[in-house]
């Protein structure tokens, strides 16, 4: 009976520890690599020699959001 309680306690501690570790790693990842926003798209288009207009920016944002789902 004691073995079962120790096993369950260890399993719960592992799940909780894994959750918080994964959460911290995702926070660090998004801090280093923020998701693309409209301003980044404008900058990329300008660097490629295209004139960024609002309709094209919104279309690209919609297509990226649709691709993420």
Residue 42 and residue 29 share a domain? no
Residues of the chain with pLDDT under 50: none
SS3 of 12-67: HHHHHHHHHHHHHHHHHHHHHCCCCCHHHHHHHHHHCCCCCCHHHHHHHHHHHHHH
Q: What does the pLDDT read at residue 7?
A: 95
Q: What does the pLDDT read at residue 69?
A: 62
Task: Please state the domain count of the chain.
Answer: 2
Residue 39 and residue 29 share a domain? no
Residue 44 and residue 30 share a domain? no
Q: What is the pLDDT of residues 20-35, one digit of tens each?
A: 999 999 999 988 887 8
pTM: 0.55
The whole domain housing 1 covers 1-34
């Amino acid at each position: 009976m004691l073995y079962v309680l120790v096993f369950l306690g260890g399993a719960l501690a592992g799940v909780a520890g894994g959750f918080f570790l994964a959460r911290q790693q995702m926070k660090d990842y998004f801090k280093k690599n923020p998701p693309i926003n409209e301003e980044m798209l404008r900058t990329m288009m300008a660097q490629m020699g295209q004139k960024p207009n609002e309709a094209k920016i919104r279309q690209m944002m919609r297509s990226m959001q649709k691709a993420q789902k």
